[in-house]
Amino acid sequence: MKIYMVFQISLLNTIYNSSISSFTGNVIIKFSAYSSSSGTVTFNITGETIQNYHTVKNSTCQTTVSGGSNALTTTSVSSGTIYTASIPSGVDKYFSFNSSSSKIYSVIWSGKNILWYDIYKGVGNSNTSTSVDDYNSSISSFTGNVIIKFSAYSSSSGSVDFMVYEK
């Protein structure tokens, strides 16, 4: 299968073309505006099978979630849904999903002003701990509650878009 993408960025008046082949999995396309200006993006994707997470025209693709205040009061998330969360300054927010040892999962995120990203296999059993804003973590050979923790800087609030993907 080959997927072709054409992007037209009106702010820059530039057209970009891209193609993806010999790949199985989710392709996530992210557009970010400059901090000092806004613009529009027109894009077209052609290929064999495309899952449309953006089912309502002009809606946002993400589901907004607030997160729990500790590892015992998490907000449950589902595989295949794109979430967005605002993390107030100096606060940790917790999310979770149930995993099966017979499956492999990826937690994929893109954040801004987040101090730390942590993934746990159960309470206190660290799987991934990083400060990298655009990253993913794989979870395998584990049955139980996977906990996702996002920590904002004490001086500023942050935001993160994330998704759990079952491979």
Give the pLDDT confidence of 76-120 residue by residue, as tens digits: 999 888 899 999 999 999 999 999 999 999 998 988 999 999 999
Distance CA 7, CA 17 (A): 6
Is the domain covering 63-166 a CATH 2.60.120.380 domain? yes
- Nearest to 22, CA basis, from 47, 41, 57: 47
Provide DSSP, 104-151.
Answer: -EEEEEEEESEEEEEEEESTT-EEEEE--SEEEEEE-S--EEEEEEEE
Domain positions in the chain are: 2-46, 63-166
- Kindly indicate the confidence band of residue 144, based on its pLDDT and cuts at 50, 70 and 90: very high
Whole-model pTM: value is 0.68
pLDDT above 50: residue 25: yes
Q: Which two tokens stand for residue 88?
A: 């107030």
pLDDT for position 54: 45
